[in-house]
Amino acid sequence: MTTPKSALVTGANKGIGFETVRRLAAEGFKVWLGARDAERGMAAANALRAEGLDVEWLELDVASDDSVAAAANAVAARAPSLDVLVNNAGIAPGYVESFGPDGRYERPPSQENVADIQATYDVNVFGPIRVTKAFLPLLLAAPAARIVMVSSSTGSIGRALDPTTANAAVNLLGYGSSKTALNAVTVAFARELAPQGIKVNAAAPGYTATDLNGFKGHRTVQQAAEIIIRLATLDAAGPTAGYFNDDGPLPW
């Protein structure tokens, strides 16, 4: 009997993460739905199991070394390897409150709270590093693992400096720079793991309606998940150390 491929998605009890779990499970993966809140995590996993999908909640707080280590041990006790890791968990404290009544973003970088920026980096940058390092033995045990870092087009310095792009209108110090840093993390892991056949790429899902932005985004979670699934299921000829949205490579 063939063992089904397995995947882990962090921050997956709602939004883009939840839809990514649904899509991977629909493609035949056994999926670990990573979430720090037990009630929400189990409810999300139960909802997908009710659709006939092989999904299981995994307690996982990406900002906690102990939680990440315990999660890796829990999966290792149940599975010989991990084929896909989607580092999706992310936060943007203060983002929703920074919009004015006309819908324009009104918070300049100089007014962002340093504590909020530190918390953002702990989840958006150090979280993926923690999780990737902890699950690396399981990823290496798979024949051709794939790692997807869920980034954002706001992490593109090139787009931020291009007045013709939508990113030029929003100047996010904490969230945007955390995604720029995550892009660098993507390249670093990709360079290390390429000889082992592991592909590591960053996905920019677009401005998606989720609670991260107060549901102001114009894209659906179904649209957002497309690039993540594409990178999570790359064949041997696929790229690594790349940064992509639906239209193709993005400028760093």
Catalytic residues: 175
For residue 225 the two structure tokens come to 């998940």
Residues 6+ apart with CB under 8 A from 7: 21, 24, 29, 30, 31, 32, 82, 83, 84, 85, 86, 232
Q: What is the CA radius of gyration of the chain?
A: 17
Secondary structure (3-state) at 16: helix
Cβ neighbours, 10 Å, residue 17: 28
219 secondary structure, DSSP code: B
Q: How far is CA 189 from CA 16, 38, 41, 163, 233, in A?
A: 23, 30, 28, 31, 18
Q: How long, in residues, is the chain? A: 252
